[in-house]
Amino acid sequence: MIRPQALPSALAAVRPMVVERAGRLIVGLAGPPAAGKSTLATALAAALNDGGTAAVAVPMDGFHLANAELNRLGLADRKGAPETFDATGYVNLLRRLRAGEPSTVYAPTFNRQINESIGSAIPVAPDVRVVVTEGNYLLLDTPPWHEVRPLLDLALYLDAPHSTRHSALVRRQLTRGLSRDAAHAWAGGSDAANAKLIESTRDRADEILIRGA
């Protein structure tokens, strides 16, 4: 398990809430593409589990629209932008998770190998105390994304140096089969535009975490 540099700060923010509050906590982790959100969310959930607090990581990316639907809508070249997600579906899942249903709730995930979402891949059992949900647009204030922030008990924002993120984004696109030039173009185009939008939402976070280079 990778131990991100920001993990101690994230744990310091979450653990007091586990002690002080009853019921399930929904912890949100926002930030620009390739800041390390998925890695930190997974590590945070694992650390909480190791400490005796049942936790699970649930990615917003599970609500990517299918590639076939993006093609139908003419949005394939915008994949990753706010309009390329089922935001309402994500909000509805968070509401179910907050409600603490007596049966297991299943959440979708995103598989980067096939570049598609996979439904009902993550079980959230009734005894899960902390749900760590991560994604780009948790703090966006435009409909329907504006419904996400009030559903979070704690909102963290993970930032990272531009050079670190750009390199990671290029590697991500190379694994999809893009040429190096195309990978750099995507990272500097669609992903860069999304990052600028996301960075404008950081003031809505309760705490800002910084990832090292």
pLDDT, residue 149, reads 99
pLDDT at 160: 86
The CA-to-CA distance between both ends of the chain, in Å, stands at: 19
Range of the domain at 41: 7-210
| Rounded distance between C-alpha atoms, residue 159 and residue 29, angstroms | 10
> Does any domain span residue 92?
yes
**Looking at the domain assignment, is residue 1 inside a domain?**
no
Where are the strands (E) in the chain, listed by range? 25-30, 55-59, 105-111, 116-124, 130-135, 154-159, 207-210
- Give domain status of residue 130, yes or no: yes
Q: 94 in a domain, yes or no? A: yes
Residue 114 forms part of a structural domain: yes
Q: Are strands 105-111 and 116-124 parallel, antiparallel or unpaired?
A: antiparallel
pTM of the model: 0.91
| Amino acid identity at 4 | P
What is the average per-residue pLDDT within 34-52? 97
CATH number at residue 103: 3.40.50.300
Domain tally for the chain? Answer: 1
